[in-house]
Amino acid sequence: MDSISSKITFEYNFVVDNGIISNKDKRDVPTILAVEATLTIKINNELYFETELAILEFYKALYEWKNRVTDEHIPEFHYYTIEYDDYEDGAILSLIPFSNKARVKSIWAEQDLYNVFDLDYIVREFIQLEQNLKRDIENYFEIELKKFIKHIPLMKGPYSDDY
């Protein structure tokens, strides 16, 4: 089955009015967490994951992970939210590298799909997701994420490393 290359697509749709937040709210944690989007992940065109989440919190998790990626080390990515506290089975969304491959895992997966990805491919896709989210969040809400980033809460779960 290794000869099959898994492909991943990310889609997100903001589910709140674009006036919900402005640059003056950069320290307002309840407002930051109220900014929600539906995130959909498809693997080989099949629905793998779909849920509404605090998109700024998710963005910060991606941003922090991206800043830890180096040519020599690809850390695991784990997304937890402060709005959910039962992580016995793992993170809401994880990227688990091994050798030159990686798996995407979620405790909220819609179905169990074969998803071994080429490591370079999946890292590029996650980094592209972070870049797309930054652009789209800033454009839709007319905010500058750099003003918010240190104020966005970030839940570190039991499986987090390298923080």
Taking a C-beta distance cutoff of 8 angstroms, is the pair 89, 159 a contact?
Answer: no
86-100: per-residue pLDDT in tens? 667 789 999 999 999
- Nearest-5° angle of CA 82, CA 33, CA 157? 20
Instruction: Record the tokens describing residue 39, joined without a space.
Output: 């995130």
Distance CA 66, CA 25 (A): 25
Q: Phi, psi (5° rounding) for residue 132?
A: -65, -45
pTM (whole model) above 0.85: yes
Please give the share of the chain, as a percent, with pLDDT higher than 70.
91
32-51: per-residue pLDDT in tens? 999 999 999 999 999 999 99
